[in-house]
Amino acid sequence: MTTQRQAAMQSMIEWLADERELGKEPSKIEIAGEFDLHGMHYYIFKYKKSLLGKWLLGVCGGYEHDLDTEHCGHVFSEMQPYDPATAQQEAIVMVEMIREFWMKQAAALEEGQQEANSEESQNDKRGLFNGFVLLDSHECDMEQIKRNLLQDWNISCTEAEETDRDNAKETDGTLVFEADGCMAALSFVDAPIPDGEAEHNAQANYLWKEAVEKTQTHVAQIIVAVFTRSGSPLDSGKLYAKLASSCLKLPNAVGLYSSGTVFHPGLFVDFAELMKTDNDMFPLLNLVHFGLVRTENGISGYTFGLKTFGKDEIEVLDTQASPSELRDFLIDISGYVIEQNVTLKDGETIGFSAEHKLPIVRSEGVYVEGSSLKIKF
């Protein structure tokens, strides 16, 4: 007879093996903990993509009774590093977001507002943005964040109705709410990013000389996550930039670890606030990192963040262009791909004029995981 733990393990493996997730079974997977939430039981998993890879966090559950082997559909992973000190809090955030999403979907179906393709919507991670606001003290002023959201973006997450479909729910440092057609979640974790990961990736921010030094001062974090209910990734991307900028206005916020680097809090806020004067402006520089690497044969560049829009990352290898020219090129191409919803393909060419044709090759990434599009520039 299959036990609940065995059933949860198998469900987690099957979810990860889906072609839209890992595309294969994890090389290693273990149950790392259990918790109860909203009267249901959940299992925390740690797993590895490869034998030598890092442990990553997953959650499976929604079991109503001790002997149940059928969960309620709360199976998910953002493929973020597993840290035993914060695993349960991060798992709760994922469950709360999934739970709120399906409650809203159910309400919409009852009112005849939309048709749902639930399984496909849950598994498709396009439009899921997440990052970590780094704090240099052991406190998080959620009320100030709410005030910032209301003042800066006219986003209210305090007018909750006394029903199961509240506009906002806040428990134990976790806030989940809906805005602009998206689900959003904040969760305070009184612990730093583990294994020096944020400090290591801060080195990639060549626009901020003190990035590593400032990142080293962080002792706590706010997990920020946003995903679209039914709109495009552009919708959730805009809300993520607004939410993160409101968090970064806290006096103890020292940076945002996201998109493979650590963003300067002031610059991130400045870029986000451009949306105040131009509602159609898309905050590309807040959502995609444009990396530059000096090589023996010139300079190379890469994007980190296009996958969130369902696009391949882009790399330019060993060009003789200047760093500023290469960065501007990557920004222009990425903006075109995202805002015009263009899918570049292997063997095609791209250019900004009839005479300007640059070949595209899709192959294993050099500076990014998985496949990338190599553009000769």
| 3-class state of residue 199 by DSSP | helix
Residues in the chain: 377
| Burial track 19-32 (b if 16+ CB lie within 10 A, e otherwise) | eebbeeebeebeeb
Provide the pLDDT for residue 119: 39
Mean pLDDT, residues 370-374: 94
CA atoms within 13 A on the CB side of 15: 27
- Category of 255 on φ-ψ map: left (φ > 0), alpha (ψ -120 to 50) or beta: left
DSSP 81: B
DSSP 257: E
pLDDT in tens, 2-36: 899 999 999 999 999 988 788 899 999 999 999 99
Give me the residues paired with residue 371 across strands. Answer: 364
Give the separation between CA 226 and CA 101, rounded to whole angstroms: 11
What's 335-373 look like in SS3? Answer: HHHHHCCCCCCCCCEEEEECCEEEEEEEEECCCCCCEEE
Provide the pLDDT for residue 352: 72
Q: Which two tokens stand for residue 160?
A: 């909750």
pLDDT band of 165, cuts 50, 70, 90: very low
